[in-house]
């Protein structure tokens, strides 16, 4: 089992955004070392992937000021990205 699956790392995980400032169409959770948690499109499984690739429309990244919302943590547990929200 990977480190990502064993526990929710820490709150305030950086988010990476794709699109334009007026039209963000995709968000991933940055893990470090150029990798992110990503659901590439509706119906596809959540996966760990590179956060940049040739021709992407990367708009930027930020670290949330507050703890992740409970609904997000529950969704990550549901998709098997982590096994604990504690």
| Cα 11 to Cα 19: distance, rounded to the nearest angstrom | 24
Single out the residue of 22, 83, 26, 13 nearest to residue 56, CA to CA: 26
Looking at residue 66, its pLDDT comes to: 59
For residue 50, the model assigns a pLDDT of 92
Q: Which domains does the chain have, with CATH numbers?
A: 3-78 (3.90.1720.10)
Residue 59's SS3 state is strand
pLDDT at 18: 92
Q: What pLDDT is attached to residue 81?
A: 54
Tell me the two tokens of residue 57. Answer: 């429309």
The residue whose two tokens read 């529950």 is: 74
Q: Is the model's pTM score more than 0.75? A: no
List of the chain residues with pLDDT < 70: 1-12, 65-86
**Rounded CA gap, 48 and 29, in Å?**
9
| Two structure tokens written together for 40 | 């590439």
pLDDT given for residue 6 in this prediction: 37
């Amino acid at each position: 089992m990977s480190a990502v699956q064993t526990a929710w790392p820490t709150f305030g995980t950086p988010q990476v955004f794709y699109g334009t400032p007026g039209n963000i169409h995709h968000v991933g959770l940055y893990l470090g070392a150029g990798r992110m948690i990503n659901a590439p499109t509706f119906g596809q499984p959540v996966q760990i992937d590179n956060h940049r690739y040739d021709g992407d429309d990367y708009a930027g990244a930020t670290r949330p000021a507050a703890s992740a919302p409970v609904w997000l943590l529950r969704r990550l547990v549901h998709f098997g990205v982590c096994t604990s929200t504690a």
